[in-house]
Amino acid sequence: MSLTAARRATLAALADSLLPHGGALEPGAADVDVAGQLDSYLDRCAPGTRRTVNLMLTAFNLSSIASRHARPFRLLGAPAREAYVLGCEKSKIRQRRETLIALKALILMFYCSDDRIKPLIGYDGQPYKKVEHDPGVVELKVEQPDQGFFETADVVVVGSGAGGAVAAKELAEAGLKVIVLEEGEHFDRRDFTGPPPERLRRFYRGNGLTFTIGVPTISLPIGRGVGGSTLINSGTCFRPPDFVMEAWGMDTAEFEPLFADVEATLNVEPVAGDIMGANGEVMDRGRRELGYSGGPIRRNARGCHGSGVCAFGCPLDAKLGMHVTYLPLAARAGARIVSGCRVDGLVIENGRAAGVTGSIVDPESGAVHRDARFEVRAPRVVLAAGAVYTPALLQRQRLANSSHQVGRNLRIHPGCGVLGIFDEDLYAWKGVMQSYYVDEKLQDGILVEATYPPPGVGYSAGGVGGKGSDLKDVLARYRQTAAAGLIISDTGTGRIRATPGGGLLITYNLHPDDLRKMLEGIRLTAEIYLAAGAIEVHTQLPGMPAVRKREELDWITEGRWTAADLKLSAYHPMGTCRLGKGPESSVVDQYGRAHDLPGLVIADASMLPGSTYVNPQITIMALAARNARRLAAEMS
Ligand SMILES: Cc1cc2nc3c(=O)[nH]c(=O)nc-3n(C[C@H](O)[C@H](O)[C@H](O)COP(=O)(O)OP(=O)(O)OC[C@H]3O[C@@H](n4cnc5c(N)ncnc54)[C@H](O)[C@@H]3O)c2cc1C
Ligand code: SF4
């Protein structure tokens, strides 16, 4: 077992205070042994995850000593524990509140994922629509070495996500010998089964527990596997708005065929009415009532049956991630895709990038096979390890950084969830997970997206405040609840720093203007839900009661909230090796070529020069294709 007896007792006491026996859903956390389930789950997680959860439990247990209760949490009687939990939720002491929120999210996820609780919520986990055409498994040949190796290629591509996969396909189709090195495991629809915690554990880096450090702490999940974050993303496909492209000095006409090509390869289409589900429909109703701009989201899917679990891997591979599109195309053109290979350095020869080195890792645990090293020599290196890991790789060798911008300018599109409760049954988890958008305030950097992950997870758990019977009441009304996430295009920026021993630090503080946008966005979402007929709207602002009338919307924007009051998550890290004209202020040129290191091209989210304002995968893919085509032309 991963937890000591004392920590497990703290967890059980907290779970019981939040979800006691009785009330609107009769079983309590103890009845379904949430503490035991979480403990044995941690046994299967990475050591870092176990450390984080242990640390949170210790911090939470001891935090009550400095309160009026003056004793460790697990030693308090039930009434005192409940009073302390309620106090924490509204506490101005950020660490106290954030630790509670993180532990509560884990407890809710395990509680709501339990087979005894799901039927009480009304969650049957069944798809919305019968599948008419089974899309079939796309067989992708992926090599998984178990010992070190030495190879040569024309181009070595590091990372197989949105950027790396597209680059690999373009380069291989140009006739170049391409090797793609990916740290994660190869999964497909046969693996995308099981409850959400298991899927977080397998398909997310750090088992889904990755955060930025700053005010507030922001959860920043990232995918890890052949296909990168496209394996577990929501499938939303926006082109960047023209005003963004123009601000970046990019010619929209030149990009038009690139976007069209990506969209054709990914079968990008608007969500059809028969798989939209009620979560999208209520947003449609509200936005029409208000006359706001929006519509069904365009997505990369074929044969989708609306099971609503896109962020946990699509059980049909109907969502067309890189593992069933660009990577098979790359392989067909001769590229080799190799998994379980963590690149940790670039080979530099005569001042040029000339290959990469790294270690073979256990694909599931990520543990390094210490004596199994590999080296791939190639006259061109394409880095596409994502906006967090690409800059860290360069920093470790102090490469390509005369601009001092490597790792800086991190943008993440901070986001938060809002819940609308209706007096009708919605079963909002039935249908496409992210289905409908409202872009009325996009120019101001606010984008609202109807998003409903499985009950008790992510945005669907985000707005749930309280404990005991209040919390159970909200859970019992899940079937009448709609959920939306709003993202803002950030003015502020954060930073990636590689730390000794192979670690890294992600720092990010919310900019005051981004706090304003976030509050505006929460207000906009609440307004849409009220216009759609919601009887109450739950924001995540600490201590704020549910909003029931339009007049109460001012509570959101006129309250004295600070950044520390927000509960945020973010899914779009970008900008940490930004492109630009020269080495004074940017890392790469407009084709991703490093200003300071010949032979190195960057082709992932790190090259973006700023916020995309919308979900970024299509922008990343189009830029990666452009970089790769230019590189192939240079090498021919
Ligand atoms: C839950 C979630 C939902 C999202 N939803 C959407 C959406 O609906 N629409 C949208 O547009 N965007 C969405 N995104 C964001 C989108 O998926 C990313 O912006 C995009 O995938 C980034 O592409 P990338 O190539 O930069 O990195 P990734 O796709 O993350 O790929 C990077 C790859 O590099 C590998 N790697 C890292 N370090 C190394 C190393 N040292 N050696 C070898 N391999 C390495 C990683 O394991 C990973 O597979 C979502 C993201 C998440 C996490
Ligand atoms: S809703 Fe998402 S997970 Fe479900 S079938 Fe469609 S694309 Fe796949």
Q: Say which of 69, 305, 572, 595 is annotated catalytic.
A: 572
Query: Under DSSP, is residue 400 helix (H, G, I), strand (E, B) or coil?
Result: coil
Q: What is the pLDDT of residue 413?
A: 98
Owner of token pair 């109460």: 552
595 in catalytic set? no
Q: How far apart are CA 243 and CA 249, in angstroms?
A: 10
Distance between CA atoms of residues 37 and 19, nearest Å: 15
Structure-block tokens of residue 223? 């995918």
Q: Per-residue pLDDT averaged across 131-158, rounded?
A: 89
316-355 pLDDT, tens digit per residue, is 999 999 999 999 999 999 999 999 999 999 999 999 999 9
DSSP codes, 156-172: EEE--SHHHHHHHHHHH
Give the least confident one: 82-96, 307-321, 432-446, 509-523: 82-96
What pLDDT score was predicted for residue 132? Answer: 67
| Mean pLDDT score of the chain | 94
Does the C-beta of 323 come closer than 6 Å to ligand 1? no
Q: How far is the CA of 396 from the centre of ligand 2 (A)?
A: 39
> 609 pLDDT exceeds 70?
yes
For residue 431, which atom of ligand 2 is closest to its CA? 1
Say yes or no: CB of residue 326 within 6 Å of ligand 1. Answer: no
pLDDT of residue 125: 78
Give the pLDDT mean for 244-259.
96
| Amino acid 423: pLDDT | 96
- What are the residue boundaries of the structural domains of the chain, listed by start? 5-121, 270-317+411-569
- Determine the pLDDT at residue 555: 94
Strand ranges inside 47-132, DSSP E: none
Which atom of ligand 2 lies closest to the CA of 312?
3
pLDDT of residue 462: 53
Q: CA-to-CA distance for 157 and 632, rounded, in angstroms?
A: 13
The tokens of 595 are what?
A: 């200003």
Q: Whose CA is nearest to atom 8 of ligand 2?
A: 314
> pLDDT grade, residue 233 (50/70/90)?
very high
Residue 521, pLDDT > 90, answer yes
What is the helix (H) or strand (E) element at residue 459, kind and residue range?
helix 459-462
Query: Which of these ranges, 35-44, 57-66, 88-97, 500-509, has the smallest mean pLDDT?
Result: 88-97
Note the ligand closest to the C-alpha atom of 458.
Answer: 1
Separation of CA 130 and ligand 1 centre (Å): 30
Ligand 2: distance of its center to the CA of 306 in Å? 5
Give CA–CA dist 418/459, Å, rounded. 7
List pLDDT tens digits, range 463-479: 566 777 788 888 899 99
* pLDDT tens readout for residues 166-178: 999 999 999 999 9
Convert the pLDDT of each residue in 4-15 to its tens digit.
Answer: 999 999 999 999
Of the candidates 541, 280, 313, the residue with the CA atom closest to the CA atom of residue 416: 541
Is residue 304 within 6 Å of ligand 2 at its C-beta?
Answer: yes
Query: What CATH code is assigned to 270-317+411-569?
Result: 3.30.410
Name the residue among 298, 263, 300 with its Cα closest to residue 280. 298
CA neighbor of 576 nearest in space, from 513, 474, 494, 471:
494
Confidence of residue 596 (pLDDT cuts 50, 70, 90): very high
C-alpha 340: how far from its chain's center?
A: 21
Tell whether omega for the bond before 453 is within 30 degrees of 0, i.e. cis: no
271 lines ligand 2 (CB under 6 A): no
Of residues 16 and 502, more confidence is placed in 16
Nearest-angstrom CA–CA distance, 328 and 341: 19
Closest-CA residue, ligand 1 atom 4, reads 233
Q: Model confidence over 424-473: pLDDT tens digits?
A: 999 999 999 999 999 999 999 999 999 999 888 876 665 566 777 788 88
Cα angle vertex 341, ends 322, 1, to 5°?
95
184 ligand 1 Cβ < 6 A: yes
Nearest CA to ligand 1 atom 5: 233
Residue 127 CA, closest ligand 2 atom number: 4
546's CB contacts (< 8 A; 6+ apart) are 421, 536, 537, 538
Does 45 have pLDDT greater than 90?
yes
Query: In the prediction, which pLDDT does 367 show?
Result: 81
